[in-house]
Chain A
Amino acid sequence: MEREYHLLDRQKLDCRDLLFYIYDPLPRLELEQSIRMYGLHQPLVVRSKGSAFQIVSGFRRAEVAAELSLDVLPCFVVDETDDWRLFLYALTDNLTFRSFNPMEISAVLEKSLKIFQRSTRQVLDDVAPRLGLGRNPRIFELYHPLQSLDSLWHVGTANGTLSVETAVQIAALDSATQQALFPIYDTLRPGKNLQRELQQLLQDCAKIAGTSLIELTEDEELQRLLTAGDFTSAQRLERFRQALWCRRYPRYSRTLEKLAAILKEAKLPPGMQIRETPFFERDIYSVHFQFRTEQEFDVAFAILQEMRKNHLIKRLEELHG
């Protein structure tokens, strides 16, 4: 594509023309710092539009330049009438220096389909490889729904705190529900591996209780867990998760509680453990204890015998139905 280098008066850039703008919710701190320290070296790409210039690539650079009161900006002026070709050019220009975050990818897909009216096939052929996503049609399921994400969730999705998968699940909800859920994630800050489970638990618990997700988020017990001051953040997350598990898996949770009660009654010393198999699927328990001397061995053994005498072993047996 033909392009000419010019130093252009910033006032001549039409910053309200957003045809080629790609939405990115992340703050521009790094860019601002770099321009402040080293100046603006990467030229913008613009196209002449009457007496002004339309920005093709470099919206954020123009914004920072305005904030830093830079009056003259380096620009490549391109002479191209085909908007789609220019859009692709803008993508390449941006992607030379960095990769796009999920919100930007979603915006690119939206713009390609809705503004430039490209077919999904064209997007897969022309856009997806530029974004480094191959030609897998799943990108539409994975990124495009983020367009429906409430703005509260944008930064977390863009900076990767929220997994794209969970963001898509949240985007499928109406905006009032998305807003009601936000404080839960904001307070608990679950890692990516727990987000999916948490979201599924919330949705399932609401369905089981026959309530909406909004009503569930207002639930007294859950609210208390979110606001109580005496937990570390890891403890808070774990308690919250446990509370949801009790609703989602009531019989299993009750069995776990019974097991805990039996073991409490048994007063096992530190270093001695009785374990069930995962989810009680097999009717086997294992006993672990450590000993150094005959005397320590006798103590452990006496505790087990005491458990039997007090019918605790029988009660363990009964947990299996």
Chain B
Amino acid sequence: MDKTVSPRFIPEELIVERSVHQTELVQRVLSRFSRVPVRFVDNAEEIWLQAQKSSSRDTWKGKVLLARQRGPFLRLCPGTQKHICCMYHNLDVAAGCDMDCSYCILQGYLHSSLVTWYCNTDDLYTQVDAELIKYSERFYRIGTGELSDSLTFDPCTGLATDLVSFFRDKRNAILELKSKNIHVEDLLSLDHGGRTVVSWSMNASVLRRSEESAAPDIDARLDAAVRVQDAGYWLGFHFDPMIDYPDWEQGYREVVERIFSRIRGEQIAWISLGALRYPAAMDELIRRNHPKSSIVLGELLPGIDHKFRYFKPIRIEMFRRMYGWIRNFSDAPVVYLCMESDEVWRKAFGWSPGSSARLKVLLDDRVREAPK
């Protein structure tokens, strides 16, 4: 059994946009990394442009830009009309990640290893508050794990910890910290009010080694999950992307068994399943950036949204088996599919929420109250 524990990220250079220099977050980061070289820039966009143009991804490795978020922090996940979507909100507090998974979609978005932390957090809190008050009858599931990993930089920024406290009293929202990392120490003693789901992306162990090699291994993630469980948080697990490889059944079943041998089903809010998929242009990026990875050799064909996806019967079979294994252990968590059609839902699970709105209700209802 491998026991890789990801080291904490230490920036090699901090690039600070002057307009956020005085913010609490920047001051905190600067005090935590007083020995790391700091450079100031007037406009973060220059740096994004340079990073975008750079010929090698590695040029920006270890560099962190502390910048002002230009757009809204809170965005409804775009989904697609052709699939059932969970109607999630993304909170863009960072862009970039230090774990470099072979299938990571960020390769296509960001073009370089530059990491950006958005530091005008006062705006963030104001925007979220305004939205939650304005639509107080709506329920929001909000996550920070779309353009980054929710926990990987927390020892540097403490932002995840801040957010847990911020969401503690929110009655119509829940925060999800979605991660492959294990930096949970600072979460354990917080008063979270049951308003945070801490969730882990899981994969078969063999794939962790080949495709997520910089991320902590599955047991380390489970160790962290157990600690978070003991601290009374909701938990979540995401098998996304599931990857079709010769021993996938054994590999994934084992992980499901390991989860339920240590985690109570009643405390798991949800488990999502999603099969490997990516825009056509990413195929070349994965081949170039991860020449040893064999994920591009799967039976990936263009889907209705033009993304490459496994041939549908393969996906259905994977989801069907996973659903069965999970339900052998517990009926409590909502098990859902990410970006799949009503047909795939029915064939894989034997039922379907029928619409995105209905799926949203199922997920919202699961976490309206704190876990029992």
Contacts and interface: CB of A to CB of B under 8 A. Distances in A.
Interface of A: 137-138, 204, 207-208, 248-252, 255, 278-283, 319-321
Given A255-B313, A320-B347, A207 B297 contact: yes
A252 B297 contact: no
B299 A320 contact: no
Interface stretch (B125-133, B265-273, B301-309): B301-309
A281 B303 contact: yes
A319 B343 CA distance: 13
B312 A280 contact: yes
B314 interface: yes
Given A249-B299, A320-B343, A320-B347, A279 B311 contact: yes
Contacts of A278: 302
A281 to B, nearest CB: 5
B294 interface: yes
12 contacts: A137-B55, A204-B297, A208-B297, A249-B299, A249-B301, A278-B302, A281-B303, A281-B304, A281-B312, A282-B343, A283-B343, A321-B316
A280 B312 CA distance: 7
B347 A321 contact: yes
Contact of A279 (B297, B301, B341, B347): B301
B317 interface: yes
Interface of B: 55, 294, 296-297, 299, 301-304, 309, 311-314, 316-317, 341, 343, 347
Given A207-B294, A208-B297, A282-B341, A321 B303 contact: no
Given A204-B297, A207-B297, A283-B343, A321 B302 contact: no
Contact of B317 (A204, A252, A319, A321): A321
Contacts of B341: 282
Contacts of B347: 320-321
Contacts of A279: 301-303, 311-312
Residue picked from B303, B304, B311, B317, most chain A C-beta under 10 Å: B311
A166 B347 CA distance: 41
A251 B312 CA distance: 10
A242 to B, nearest CB: 15
Contacts of A138: 55
B313 A282 contact: no
Contact of B301 (A207, A208, A252): A252
A252 B303 CA distance: 13
A280 B311 CA distance: 8
The 8 closest A-B pairs by CB, nearest first: A321-B313, A321-B316, A279-B301, A252-B311, A249-B299, A283-B343, A281-B303, A137-B55
Contacts of B312: 279-281, 320-321
Contacts of B317: 321
A119 to B, nearest CB: 14
Contacts of B299: 248-252
B314 A251 contact: yes
A282 B304 CA distance: 8
A42 B309 CA distance: 58
Contacts of A321: 312-314, 316-317, 347
B349 to A, nearest CB: 13
A320 B317 CA distance: 11
Given A137-B55, A282-B341, A320 B313 contact: yes
A249 B297 contact: no
B186 to A, nearest CB: 43
Contacts of A251: 299, 311, 313-314
A281 B294 CA distance: 23
Contacts of B304: 281-282
Contacts of A319: 313
A258 to B, nearest CB: 11
A249 B294 CA distance: 14
Residue picked from A208, A255, A320, most chain B C-beta under 10 Å: A320
A199 B316 CA distance: 30
A171 to B, nearest CB: 15
A282 B313 CA distance: 11
A252 B294 CA distance: 19
